[in-house]
Amino acid sequence: MQNQINIIEMDEKPPPIDELSYCSGSSEEKERDAKSLAVLLGVESHEAKTYSSRPAVVGHRGLIYEEMENTLPAFQKAADIGCDAVELDVFLLVCGTLIVFHGGGPNNLGALDESCGQSGNIMDLNYEQVKQLKMNVDNPEFVCPRDKVEDAVIPTLEEVLVFAKERDLRISLELKGPDTSDPVLNLVEDFDMVDQITFSSFDLERIARIRELRPHIDTATQTHVYKTAALFEDVPDDLLQVVMQAGASEVHLRYDTCTRSRIDAIHALGMSTLAWLKSPPLMEHDCAVNYLDIGNEDERLFQTIMNSGVRSICTNRPDVLIRHLMSSC
């Protein structure tokens, strides 16, 4: 690749929820220290325009409060309730099979300890071994009923693409593991699903690879045919320069960094936007400690995010967001 792409690294993983104090300090201290999400995003002014356009609803790893995350049942339920898209994570196994799995943070991609309660890394396994894995029912990120965790089967990306094509469901496909760009691109093209996929990553080299291989522009819309999204945990000072250098067609930001001015600036450059929410335990913490003007993935939270003008919202509770959008019609 001719241009060197800056890699945006996520901060260290936050401490587990049980290590965070929810009850320390008086209610007055909490109110003084807590932030208003609306103020933070610059959408609190009564004079400010309220954005009313409907954002696309993206189910984070499916409908994870009812079915095990990143599984076919979770994606099926998300489609059934009317999600526009689902978000999922992809790794490449040693046998060459692409599988849908989240396991591990930025410093231990593919680790099995939290997800499966055992040592090792999923990228060191073949698919026959992956089919024998059992998910960890004690993982606090798994918020579906316990029996759904116990019965969970890790799907291949091919299985998910078959389903998504049948249901005309869009996919925000995170290139989670290394060496995923080329085989994922080839598989998506084999299924003739380019128009249903957004290739995303926190590692901007991975989406830059997609853009290098497929720079095609739709002459009618003057937009990229192959959609790529730059993912960010925190926002660099040179955000716009970084995403343009990576050839991104979308920018996906953590929900509490989606300021109105930032979203407007991204749109002005012809790129789309998505606000992504954290995992359920971390959202619970944010809404209990950091932001007192919202509830945990409730209508107030979604309306505040919508007022930034963001075009898609990736949430653990797409059902709540869909109900809010329907009631606002």
* Arithmetic mean of pLDDT, 243-269: 98
CB 251 within 8 Å of CB 200: no
Mean pLDDT (the chain, rounded): 90
Higher pLDDT, 112 or 52: 112
At residue 27 the predicted structure's pLDDT band, cuts being 50, 70 and 90, is very low
Q: How much is the average pLDDT of 132-149?
A: 98
- Residue 24: pLDDT band by 50, 70, 90 thresholds? very low
pLDDT per position as a tens digit, 209-225: 999 999 999 999 999 99
The predicted-structure confidence for 225-237, as pLDDT tens digits, reads as follows 999 999 999 999 9
Return the minimum-mean-pLDDT range out of 51-60, 95-104, 138-147, 320-329: 51-60
Q: Is the pLDDT of residue 9 over 50?
A: no
The pLDDT of residue 148 is above 90: yes
Do residues 17 and 281 make contact, with C-beta atoms less than 8 angstroms apart? yes
Q: Which long-range contacts (CB under 8 A, 24 or more apart) does 184-189 make?
A: 184/90, 184/98, 184/157, 185/210, 185/213, 185/214, 185/226, 187/98, 187/157, 187/158, 187/161, 188/161
Per the CB < 8 A criterion, the answer to whether 37 and 256 are in contact is yes
What is the pLDDT, as a whole number, of residue 107? 86
Residue 245, helix vs strand vs coil: helix
* pLDDT for the residue 66: 99
| pLDDT interval class at 328 (50, 70, 90) | confident
Closest CA relative to residue 184, chosen from 72, 109, 93, 103? 93
Q: Is it the case that residue 55 has pLDDT exceeding 80? A: yes
Is residue 19 scored above 60 in pLDDT? no
Model pLDDT, residue 14 = 36
Q: Phi and psi of 41, rounded to 5°?
A: -85, -5
Q: State the pLDDT at residue 106.
A: 83
pLDDT attached to residue 44 = 79
| pLDDT band at 45; cut points 50, 70, 90 | low
pTM of the prediction?
0.88
**With 50 as the cut, is the pLDDT of residue 283 above it?**
yes
Does the structure show a pLDDT above 90 at 96? yes
Vertex 58, ends 57 and 59: CA angle to 5°? 120
- List, in order, residues 6 or more apart from 124 with CB less than 8 Å away: 94
Residue 53 binned pLDDT confidence (cut-offs 50, 70, 90): confident
What is the reported pLDDT for 50? 53
Long-range contacts made by residues 255-258, C-beta under 8 angstroms, separation at least 24? 255/301, 255/305, 255/313, 256/37, 256/40, 256/41, 256/286, 256/290, 256/291, 257/232, 258/41, 258/305, 258/308, 258/310
pLDDT of residue 78: 99
Tell me the pLDDT tens digit for each residue of 154-198.
999 999 999 999 999 999 999 999 999 999 999 999 999 999 999
146-153 long-range contacts (CB < 8 A, ≥24 apart) are 148/66, 148/67, 148/68, 148/73, 149/68, 151/68, 152/68, 152/71, 153/71, 153/72
| Structural domains present in the chain | 26-88+168-327 (3.20.20.190)
